[in-house]
Amino acid sequence: DAGVIQSPRHEVTEMGQEVTLRCKPISGHDYLFWYRQTMMRGLELLIYFNNNVPIDDSGMPEDRFSAKMPNASFSTLKIQPSEPRDSAVYFCASNRKDSAGNTIYFGEGSWLTVV
């Protein structure tokens, strides 16, 4: 299994620009999560989907952030317009309900720098 695949791995953008982060979950997983990691706030859950439907977006910081999951194998997290305080590592993760429990599997992360 290729694991959770994220792109881009690194992005540097100017303040005000639109940023789109992409994620392909593990095949067969029906839950997808977007996390943000910073030194100040640690790992924060932004939003998660079940069967492509957003379940909880209470962690999305503000209207500048939006996430979509048009199908079971693809999700995007968009920031428009971006600001320097959005600089962070954004992780996508996925899992599947089974007898093994609630383990989630992270992608390699997208390192975003907004200058």
Partner 1 sequence: GENVEQHPSTLSVQEGDSAVIKCTYSDSASNYFPWYKQELGKRPQLIIDIRSNVGEKKDQRIAVTLNKTAKHFSLHITETQPEDSAVYFCAASKGSTLGRLYFGRGTQLTVWP
Binding site for partner 1 (CB under 8 A): 31, 33, 42-43, 45, 48, 50, 56, 91, 95, 97, 101-109
Q: How far is the CB of 43 from partner 1 (least distance, A)?
A: 4
Q: How far is the CB of 55 from partner 1 (least distance, A)?
A: 8
Q: Compare residues 17 and 38 and give the one whose CB is closer to partner 1.
A: 38
Q: Compare residues 81 and 106 and give the one whose CB is closer to partner 1.
A: 106
| Distances from the Cα of 50 to the Cα of 39, 67, 93, 98, angstroms | 28, 13, 12, 14
Q: How far is the CB of 98 from partner 1 (least distance, A)?
A: 10
Q: Is 10 exposed, middle or buried (0-12, 13-18, 19+ CB in 10 A)?
A: exposed
Q: Compare residues 14 and 98 and give the one whose CB is closer to partner 1.
A: 98
Residue 9, helix vs strand vs coil: coil
Instruction: Give strand ranges (E) for 42-109.
Output: 42-50, 53-56, 65-71, 74-79, 88-95, 105-106
